[in-house]
Amino acid sequence: MESARGIVLNAVRLNDTHTVVTIYTECAGTVAFVVRRRQDGGGRKTRAAVWQALSVVSVGWEPVLRRELQTPTWLVLERPWKTLACDVTKTAMCLYLGEFLHHALRGEAENGALFSFLEQALTWWDERADAEPNFHLFLLMHLTSFLGFGPGVQGYVPGACFDLCEASFAMATPMHTAFLSPDDARYVPIFWRMSMQMLHGVRLNGATRRRILTILAEYYRLHLPEFSSPKSLEILAEVMAVR
C-alpha cells in the first residue's frame, strides 16, 4: 500500500461514473488515478475541491505495475485553500498552471525538493490578498531548475541574446531561430534572481506578460519533447484583461 500527499494537476471526466485525476505526489512522482465519483471523502464542496487544479490532497493506493491508471483506496482534500478557489483571477491562473504542470511533469519521478517548492509557493500565493499577476511567471521560470534546464543567468550581460536551446546567454546571434532578442532576454535574470516577496515590484502590462508565457511554453517544448502548450492561455488572458 502506498500513501502520499499530492498536488492535483488535472481532472478529466472519463464517463458518467469515473474521473481521471492526475496528481504529482510527494513520494511517487506523477500518478494518474481513475476515481469513482463519491469515492473521495467529504461533502459536495469538498469533492469539488478535490478535482480543482493545484489542490493539496492525500491519496492511498495499491500500486499495480504496468497499469497506466491506478485505483485509489482513498482520495481526500488535505487542506482547503483560502483564496485560490474564490478569487476569479487566481482560479484562472490555477487552471492555466495545472494544465501547464500536467504537461511539464508527465512521467516525472519522485522529487521531494520539487514538491516542496510547489507547495510552499502555492501556500505563499494563497495567503496573499491580491492575485499577484506575475506569480505564474515566477513559478514556471523557477520550475525549470528542478527539471534540469534552468537558465544560466551568470552569463548575462546587457545586450546579450538568450539561446533557448542551450539555456544560456551569448553576445553572438545563434545560427537557429530559437533565441530571445536582447530586449526579451533581459527579463530572464530579473525573474530568476527575485524572490516571491519581490514580485509586487515588477510592473508588466498584459501584452508583455502574455509574451513571456508564450516564450516559456516554447522553452519547455524545446527541452521536454512531449510538452504541449496549454490551451487555457486564452481564458487566462481574458480574465486578467478585465481585472
Start-end of CATH 2.40.50.140 domains in the chain: 1-80
Q: Decide which of 2.120.10.30, 1.20.970.10, 2.40.50.140, 3.40.50.1000 is the CATH code for 1-80.
A: 2.40.50.140
Q: What is the pTM of this model?
A: 0.90
Q: Kind and range of the H or E element at 79?
A: strand 72-79
CATH 1.20.1440: which residues of the chain? 81-243
Residue-level pLDDT at 23: 97
Cβ distance 6 to 21 under 8 Å?
no
For every residue of 100-150, DSSP letters joined together read HHHHHTTT----HHHHHHHHHHHHHHHT-SS--TTHHHHHHHHHHHHHT--
According to CATH, the topology of domain 81-243 is: de novo design (two linked rop proteins) (1.20.1440)
Residues of the chain below pLDDT 50: 45-46, 242-243
Residue 185 near residue 161 (C-beta atoms within 8 A): yes
pLDDT at 40: 52
